[in-house]
A = this chain, B = another copy of it.
């Protein structure tokens, strides 16, 4: 395996930034023309509940909602207005973007019909889940076409609401130039878990179509939290990246070598430790076998850490300082930075400041991977077109106060992945 920074531009040229996590969506009412007629009656009912939800949020946290919406009045319209969106991306220094549903995470007023975006798993009627997903997908296709090299759309495919239906929808999506991936419900609820063989037709279709599969932060085991928001905040990452291990450990990436998966907006702080735990299961020489070992043999063909950067990418959004420090152990070739625009928990509208604060100690070659090139590779984006955009708007390494002479130590990843030494695992890097 060559070093991931081999051949990467170390000059002061502008960064090609691809935000691996943005959101877009129509104002709820405006989805009507994209929604099949047969679901309009239910749509009207659902709109009522949306407005009630907004009223509840305003009641609870009105001052915050008002300030957020006033301070960012124009930029927030970029959730659905392509011209405003491009200007906002420009100002943020962002050339390309991977677009998820649900533009409004504060009051939920830009959700696809029936909550078919981040709440898809919670819909109980499959007919509505599919109607809502398709409405968003129709609009998303149009929206991505407003600036093709820049926008990589992630369509909605609620696989828990029917596998045959999912395969059909993936085959339709496969032909659309702006669509680069699908988002599946974060949780599988009462359905078989995502490691179950019954989902294989879905993974096969995505691998065939070159569509990256995603789960995105949003759902969690809410019933267990007794309205305690801290419980939600603690666990939401677990529920979002849980499908990664279902796919990886069930051998999905071996059966479908072209399959790619990315968990999004659940950070990356947990990656290294779970690679440690799983690598040791399959490669550890000191592991006490007991009755378990014989049952993990043959499940997968490589060590779990070897799937990072080939089949597994991490949509780490606005990485914290500690996540940046852990980039070697987590996988320099699999981490994708993102702004989460236009959500308030992301870096927008202060992306430039955030970049210049956080990336100062990081070599240029690594920064190029994290800020854009890993996403270009994951989604097979048009690097020439993106570079042309970045030439005008991308921040340069010196804007991030970086040292142009700094290089990646030759054994950085080997040394960070402590478990190879601790457990006598063979290093194939």
Contacts and interface: CB of A to CB of B under 8 A. Distances in A.
A233 B296 contact: yes
A1 interface: no
Interface string A280-293: 01100000111110
B230 A281 contact: yes
Contact of A322 (B106, B228, B422): B422
Given A234-B245, A269-B276, A292-B233, A226 B193 contact: yes
Contacts of A273: 269-270, 273
Interface string A215-237: 00000000111111111111101
B322 A230 contact: no
A60 interface: yes
A274 interface: yes
A274 B270 CA distance: 10
Copies held by the complex: 2
Nearest to A229: B295
Interface residues of A, number: 59
A147 interface: no
Contact of A231 (B246, B269, B294): B246
Contact of A230 (B197, B296, B418): B296
A255 interface: no
Given A60-B294, A226-B192, A249-B234, A288 B345 contact: yes
Contacts of A296: 229-230, 233
A291 B195 contact: no
A192 B228 CA distance: 13
A345 to B, nearest CB: 5
B228 A250 contact: yes
A230 B299 contact: yes
Contacts of A70: none
Given A60-B294, A288-B344, A291-B61, A250 B234 contact: no
Contacts of A290: 64, 105-106, 344-345
Contacts of A289: 64
A249 B83 CA distance: 44
A428 interface: no
B229 A292 contact: yes
Contacts of A245: 231, 234-235
B345 A276 contact: no
A322 B273 CA distance: 10
A57 interface: yes
Interface string A250-284: 10000000000000000001100110111001100
A301 interface: no
A195 B277 contact: no
B230 A278 contact: yes
Nearest to A422: B321
Interface of A: 57, 60-61, 64-65, 105-106, 188, 192-193, 195-197, 223-235, 237-238, 245-246, 249-250, 269-270, 273-274, 276-278, 281-282, 288-292, 294-296, 299-300, 320-322, 344-345, 418-419, 422
14 contacts: A61-B291, A106-B290, A195-B225, A226-B250, A228-B250, A229-B292, A230-B249, A231-B245, A231-B246, A231-B250, A233-B277, A233-B292, A269-B277, A270-B273
